[in-house]
Amino acid sequence: MHHATAAPAKAAAAWSIRALFVLPDWQRRGVGRALLTHLTDAFRTLGYQSAILWTSRDNPAARAFDESNGWTFDRHGHFDFHGPRPMSTPAVRYARNLNAPP
C-alpha cells in the first residue's frame, strides 16, 4: 500500500508523508496502521500540529485506508518520483490534525 518516507512540508506546522507502502503479503495485518500511528505520534511529539499524506489517485484501497485512519481529502495534485526512473503520477493529498483522534 505505502512505503514510509517523510519530509517537512512547506508550512512550518505540518509534516508531509510522501509514501507509505506495505507489501501485499503484509497488508490487512495492522502493519500499515502501526506505521502510520508511529509516524503521527512522532510528529506530534516533535510539536507538529498537522500532517499531509499523499496517496495515488487511482488506488481506492489506499484512499479508504487513509480515510479510515482519520485523514481528510484536501486536494488533487501530482506526486513526482525522482531517481533512476523519474515519473509523475496523479495523486490526492490528505490532511490530518494531529491533536484530533483518528
Task: Give the model confidence (pLDDT) of 17-70 as tens digits.
Answer: 888 889 999 999 999 999 999 999 999 999 899 999 999 899 999 999 999 999
* Inside any domain, residue 68: yes
Domains identified in the chain, total number:
1
pTM for this predicted structure: 0.75
User: Which residue range is the domain that position 89 belongs to?
Assistant: 5-97
* Inside any domain, residue 73: yes
* Inside any domain, residue 17: yes
Task: Give the model confidence (pLDDT) of 55-65 as tens digits.
Answer: 989 999 999 99
Task: Give the model confidence (pLDDT) of 78-92 as tens digits.
Answer: 777 777 888 788 899
* Inside any domain, residue 102: no
Closest CA to 83 of 1, 3, 15: 3
User: What's the CATH number where 38 sits?
Assistant: 3.40.630.30
* Inside any domain, residue 44: yes
Closest CA to 21 of 79, 75, 95: 79
